[in-house]
């Protein structure tokens, strides 16, 4: 890599911080909750057009996609809200790099909890506020600014840089899966999800489950004539608590050392009963099962099914009225990259160079589209970004602009090293 070019790229980014912040601001101001991604994508498309990138804009939803094993999506239509990929073609001979960000943001929740309009993009004390600022339009802005810096400084690369602005990450990753199926894979990928500037080579996967527990109704005054679905659901929940302990006892990866429960089983919902003085005849338990970075989704599912089968064998009622287990809604594939993978070294070195200190390397407690990129697209993935983990999905979501600027420098440097400068 040409040291002078690196210095020029860094200087360009330092000189254009206001432009970077302004771009993120307008991007946040476009509400891109699920089904409304088009206007934010239009800003992305216009930016890529200005940069002279080769654009690929398409509506996802092919039969191939919908029949793929990793497809997990309940969306009715993708019409009008395209996926966007924009390629900075290399001169040849270098390694390729995917820079992947999702444009969809989660709902704002209760607006009363926001001190300003959730899509204000307001800047205050070095922070930019708004839904999506941290998760993950900030990461997307960092990537696009890094690419602009390379182009503006005339830096030519050997390998391709494939920028992606996908939909549907928050709902199971159909956008990134569609990009993989369209042929977009690479020698490495960075996904700047909000990691607090930590580097996550491994990501916990997860999936949702719904367990239906049957009972038999009776009047509460003679409750012994019925079978309480709530009491049976308690058995299920207690067995799942034990399963969580068993599964986590097996995790020995040092990256999880500081994490109290590396792969939690979260009981997120229970609904049972319609009348205080009736014995409830139905209980629905819903939750999220964490999947270890190097575990197969199907094997995790089997563990839960097996343990609930074992529970049912010890209970006459459950034997005769089997639990129903469904895997519904969201599913995020886990991801795992070896700590000594060259992508890790390249990114860590760049981090060290810009920040003057070692990066913190951990495993992420949540899944990202990295699971699809690595498992389906066979692309090594590292998750690293400027957003704040804790404010993602929360009211008053925000990003620290200084981190955004720093991340764009680290990403630019990493791309230059990974793809190699051409002359």
Q: What are the CA-CA distances from residue 304 to residues 108, 148, 231, 295 (Å)?
A: 33, 48, 19, 14
Residues numbered 283-312 forming contacts with a copy of itself, rule: CB under 8 A? 283, 286-288, 290
Residue 237 in contact with a copy of itself, rule: CB under 8 A:
yes
Closest C-alpha among 133, 100, 102, 86 to residue 34: 102
Segment lying near a copy of itself (by CB under 8 A), choices 3-11, 220-228, 292-300, 304-312: 220-228
Choose, from 169, 170, 286, 420, the residue flagged as catalytic: 169
349 is catalytic: no
What does the per-residue mask of binding to a copy of itself show for 265-284, with x meaning CB under 8 A? -xxxxxxxxxxxxxxx--x-
Apex CA 103: angle with CA 98 and CA 108, to 5°?
145
Residue 393 in contact with a copy of itself, rule: CB under 8 A:
yes
When the beta carbons of 188 and 367 are compared against a copy of itself, the nearer one is: 367
When the beta carbons of 148 and 295 are compared against a copy of itself, the nearer one is: 295
DSSP label of 360: P
Give the one residue of 23, 209, 256, 418 binding a copy of itself; rule: CB under 8 A. Answer: 209
- Give the shortest CB-15-to-a copy of itself separation in angstroms: 37
Q: What is the DSSP string of 182-201?
A: TT---S-EEE----TT-EEE
User: What is the CB neighbour count within 10 angstroms for residue 159?
Assistant: 23
Segment lying near a copy of itself (by CB under 8 A), choices 51-59, 205-213, 314-322, 337-345: 205-213
- Give the shortest CB-193-to-a copy of itself separation in angstroms: 12
Q: Tokens 């690479």 appear where?
A: 186
Contact present, 57 and 103 (Cβ < 8 Å)? no
When the beta carbons of 163 and 332 are compared against a copy of itself, the nearer one is: 332
- Give the shortest CB-68-to-a copy of itself separation in angstroms: 23
* Helix, coil or strand: residue 33: strand
When the beta carbons of 93 and 220 are compared against a copy of itself, the nearer one is: 220
User: What is the CB neighbour count within 10 angstroms for residue 353?
Assistant: 15
- Give the shortest CB-204-to-a copy of itself separation in angstroms: 6
Count of chain residues binding a copy of itself (CB under 8 A): 46
When the beta carbons of 90 and 293 are compared against a copy of itself, the nearer one is: 293
Give the one residue of 82, 121, 264, 335 binding a copy of itself; rule: CB under 8 A. Answer: 264
Which residues lie closer than 8 Å to 263 by C-beta, 6 or more apart?
204, 244, 247, 248, 251, 289, 290, 291, 292, 295
- Give the shortest CB-105-to-a copy of itself separation in angstroms: 16
Q: Which two tokens stand for residue 327?
A: 């895997």
Choose, from 30, 37, 56, 104, the residue flagged as catalytic: 104
Strands 205-214 and 127-129, by their bridges, are unpaired
What does the per-residue mask of binding to a copy of itself show for 9-38, with x meaning CB under 8 A? ------------------------------
C-alpha 181/C-alpha 174 separation (Å) is 10
C-alpha 373/C-alpha 357 separation (Å) is 29
- Give the shortest CB-322-to-a copy of itself separation in angstroms: 21
- Give the shortest CB-276-to-a copy of itself separation in angstroms: 4
Residue 222 in contact with a copy of itself, rule: CB under 8 A:
yes
Q: What are the CA-CA distances from residue 10 to residues 111, 146, 164, 166, 256 (Å)?
A: 39, 9, 23, 27, 34
C-alpha 92/C-alpha 84 separation (Å) is 23
When the beta carbons of 353 and 394 are compared against a copy of itself, the nearer one is: 394
Give the one residue of 35, 61, 342, 365 binding a copy of itself; rule: CB under 8 A. Answer: 365
Give the one residue of 81, 164, 204, 406 binding a copy of itself; rule: CB under 8 A. Answer: 204
**Angle between helix 38-51 and helix 138-152 axes, rounded to 10 deg:** 10
When the beta carbons of 54 and 241 are compared against a copy of itself, the nearer one is: 241
- Give the shortest CB-326-to-a copy of itself separation in angstroms: 11
Query: What are 392-396's contacts with CB under 8 Å, separation 24+?
Result: 392/134, 392/135, 392/194, 393/106, 393/109, 393/135, 394/109, 395/108, 395/109, 395/110, 395/113, 395/114, 395/118, 396/113, 396/114, 396/115, 396/116, 396/129
63 is catalytic: no
Catalytic residues: 104, 169
Residues that bind a copy of itself (CB under 8 A): 204, 206, 208-210, 219-224, 228, 230-231, 234, 237-238, 260-261, 264, 266-280, 283, 286-288, 290, 329-330, 365-367, 393
């Amino acid at each position: 890599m040409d040291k002078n070019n690196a210095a020029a790229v860094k200087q360009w980014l330092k000189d254009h911080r206001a432009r970077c912040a302004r771009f993120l601001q307008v991007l946040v101001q476009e509400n891109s909750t699920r089904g409304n991604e088009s206007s934010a994508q239009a800003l992305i498309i216009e930016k890529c057009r200005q940069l002279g990138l080769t654009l690929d804009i398409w509506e996802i939803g092919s039969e191939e996609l919908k029949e793929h094993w990793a497809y997990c999506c309940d969306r009715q239509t993708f019409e009008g809200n395209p996926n966007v990929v924009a390629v900075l073609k290399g001169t040849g001979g270098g390694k390729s790099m995917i820079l992947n960000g999702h444009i969809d943001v989660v709902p704002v929740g209760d607006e009363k909890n926001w001190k300003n309009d959730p899509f204000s993009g307001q800047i205050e004390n070095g922070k930019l506020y708004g839904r999506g600022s941290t998760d993950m339009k900030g990461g997307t802005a960092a990537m696009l600014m890094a690419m602009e810096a390379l182009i503006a400084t005339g830096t030519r690369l050997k390998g391709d840089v494939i920028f992606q602005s996908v939909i549907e990450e928050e709902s199971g990753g159909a956008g990134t899966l569609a990009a993989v199926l369209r042929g977009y894979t690479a020698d490495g990928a960075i996904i700047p999800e909000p990691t607090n500037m930590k580097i996550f080579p491994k990501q916990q996967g997860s999936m949702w489950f719904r367990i239906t527990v049957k009972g038999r109704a009776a009047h509460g005054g003679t409750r012994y004539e019925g079978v309480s679905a709530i009491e049976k659901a308690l058995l299920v929940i207690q067995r799942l608590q034990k399963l969580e302990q068993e599964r986590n006892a097996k995790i020995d990866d040092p990256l999880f050392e500081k994490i109290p429960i590396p792969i939690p089983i979260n009981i997120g919902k229970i609904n049972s009963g319609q009348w205080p003085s009736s014995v409830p005849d139905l209980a629905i338990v819903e939750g999220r099962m964490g999947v270890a970075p190097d575990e197969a989704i199907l094997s995790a599912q089997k563990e839960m099914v097996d343990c609930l089968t074992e529970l049912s064998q010890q209970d006459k009622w459950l034997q005769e009225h089997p639990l129903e287990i469904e895997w519904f809604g969201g599913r995020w594939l886990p991801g795992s990259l070896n700590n000594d993978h060259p992508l890790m070294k390249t990114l860590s070195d760049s981090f060290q160079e810009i920040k003057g200190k070692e990066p913190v390397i951990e495993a992420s407690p949540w899944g990202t589209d990295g699971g699809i990129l690595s498992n389906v697209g066979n692309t090594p993935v590292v998750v690293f970004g400027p957003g704040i983990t804790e404010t993602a999905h929360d009211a008053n979501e925000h990003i620290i602009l200084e981190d955004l600027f720093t991340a764009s420098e680290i990403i630019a440097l990493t791309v230059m090293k990974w793809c190699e400068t051409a002359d």
